[in-house]
């Protein structure tokens, strides 16, 4: 792309095995899926969050899990924001 001229210099289709960054719609969908997850809801209940605590959900697309697959993979980072204190804490879950 030539920004000054406002012209596309060249364009190439990278194929179906290359994953682009996540779209805003995908990020919103991943947040919805994560927050509705039974595991997440169970953990949030276990934490007994105080009033004024907000769960911050950040989806991160990270590509694929194989050599020739089309499936996009995501990880989700959950943090707790306590607005009264202005603090942000990671929400950690350790499997036993």
Kindly report the CATH number assigned to the domain that includes residue 63. Answer: 3.10.450.40
Q: Has residue 12 been placed in a domain?
A: no
The residues of the chain scoring below 50 in pLDDT are 94-96
pTM comes to: 0.64
pLDDT, position 96: 44
The pLDDT tens digits of the residues spanning 74-92 come to 888 888 887 666 565 665 5
Question: CA 25, CA 31: separation in Å to the nearest integer?
Answer: 10
Q: Has residue 9 been placed in a domain?
A: no
Question: CA 81, CA 43: separation in Å to the nearest integer?
Answer: 16
Q: How many domains does the chain have?
A: 1
Q: Has residue 59 been placed in a domain?
A: yes
Query: Cβ distance 19 to 65 under 8 Å?
Result: no
pLDDT, position 16: 67
pLDDT, position 73: 80
Q: Has residue 82 been placed in a domain?
A: yes
Alpha-carbon Rg for the chain in angstroms: 19
Full domain range(s) for residue 50: 24-90
């Amino acid at each position: 792309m030539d920004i000054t001229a406002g012209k596309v210099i060249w364009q190439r289709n990278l194929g179906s095995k290359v994953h682009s960054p996540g779209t805003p719609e995908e990020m919103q969908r991943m947040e919805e899926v994560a927050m509705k997850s039974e595991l997440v809801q169970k953990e949030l209940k276990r934490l007994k969050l105080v009033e004024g605590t907000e769960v911050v959900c950040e989806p991160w697309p990270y590509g694929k899990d194989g050599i020739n697959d089309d499936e996009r993979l995501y990880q989700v980072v959950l943090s707790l924001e306590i607005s009264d204190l202005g603090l942000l804490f990671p929400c950690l879950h350790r499997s036993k």
